[in-house]
């Protein structure tokens, strides 16, 4: 796969976007997500993060149909590890930007053209989604997001990142593949956003509707309330200390 023209007119000649979709056991939603993304972006990299048999078979079908390039990870390593693998592959293939979207069908792919247009206007920026939830969103997840937003505001100085957790964003690959992000699991989305801000990358926040697909329709969340919240708390402990150190040494934001 090499960069091809997308269905969206990308004005700037040097903006060549692809999509990166990390998936871990999304057998009933992955094909539909790929199909919807393909209406806007032709080049798609699906990173299968060690899915079980049903998830793997669904990803194989997408790959066999030629709808996406499949990157296979033999063992589950976490969303962050999967996205990092996808971003590296995208950069190696010559793409300049990667639209990352989750495979669980929660995101509104109709917003992709607006996100790509924002990346075209400011190729150096990180484009983040700012979710507008409906009644399907679990209360615990909404509260968790408010807490993590409080901490990311503290770590970045505030008013820069609307939502640090949403898995629907456009990465500028040159900086996203260069920045050091140790987190490999659900903490990754937060850490890479904060570290890119520290690198001086501007952030564009765009509103988007998020709908939790019901389990009967194949919606599945792997977010584990206790385990992932402990990870995220440890991440904020690290980032707050680092932010303080950077501030003390005059290197908070580049
Ligand atoms: N949780 C999890 N997701 C993974 C992993 N590897 C890849 N993913 C993918 O990362 C995306 C986000 O996972 P979700 O479980 O929906 O996490 P989330 O969106 O933060 O949580 P919810 O708001 O509850 O949906 C999905 O496309 C997953 O398939 C993994 O090891 N764990
Ligand atoms: Mg999700």
Provide the pLDDT for residue 10: 45
Ligand with minimal distance to 140 CA: 1
Residue 242 CA, ligand 1 centroid: distance in Å: 27
User: pLDDT tens across 73-125, in order?
Assistant: 999 999 999 999 999 999 999 999 999 999 999 999 999 999 999 999 999 99
Give the predicted TM-score (pTM) of the model. Answer: 0.93
Provide the pLDDT for residue 8: 44
CATH of 17-248, one of 1.10.645.10, 3.90.550.10, 2.60.120.10, 3.30.200.20: 3.90.550.10
Q: Which of 28, 76, 85 is nearest to 49 (CA)?
A: 76
Ligand with minimal distance to 101 CA: 1
Q: Which of 166, 89, 92 is nearest to 127 (CA)?
A: 166
Domain limits of the chain?
17-248
Question: Which ligand 1 atom is the nearest neighbour of the CA of 222?
Answer: 15
Q: Which residues of the chain carry a pLDDT beneath 50?
A: 5-11
């Amino acid at each position: 796969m090499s960069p091809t023209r997308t269905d969206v007119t990308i004005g700037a000649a040097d903006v060549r976007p692809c999509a990166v979709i990390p998936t871990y056991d999304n057998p009933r939603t992955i094909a539909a997500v790929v199909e919807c993304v393909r209406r806007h972006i032709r080049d798609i990299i699906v990173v299968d993060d060690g899915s079980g048999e049903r998830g793997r078979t669904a990803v194989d079908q997408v790959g066999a149909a030629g709808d996406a390039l499949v990157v296979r990870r033999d063992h589950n390593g976490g969303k962050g590890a999967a996205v990092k693998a996808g971003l590296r592959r995208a950069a190696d293939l010559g793409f300049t930007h990667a639209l990352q979207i989750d495979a669980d069908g929660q995101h509104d792919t109709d917003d992709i053209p607006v996100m790509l247009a924002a990346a075209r206007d400011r190729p150096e920026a990180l484009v983040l989604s700012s979710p507008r939830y409906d009644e399907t969103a679990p209360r615990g997840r909404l509260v968790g997001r408010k807490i993590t937003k409080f901490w990311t505001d503290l770590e970045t100085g505030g008013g820069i990142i609307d939502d640090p957790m949403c898995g629907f964003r456009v990465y500028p690959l040159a900086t996203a593949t260069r920045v050091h992000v140790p987190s490999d699991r659900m903490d990754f989305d937060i850490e890479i956003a904060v570290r890119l801000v520290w690198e001086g990358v501007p952030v564009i926040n765009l509103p988007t509707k998020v709908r939790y697909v019901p389990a009967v329709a194949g919606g599945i969340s792997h977010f584990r309330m206790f385990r992932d919240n402990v990870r995220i708390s440890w991440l904020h402990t690290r980032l707050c200390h680092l932010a303080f150190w950077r501030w003390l040494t005059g290197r908070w934001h580049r």
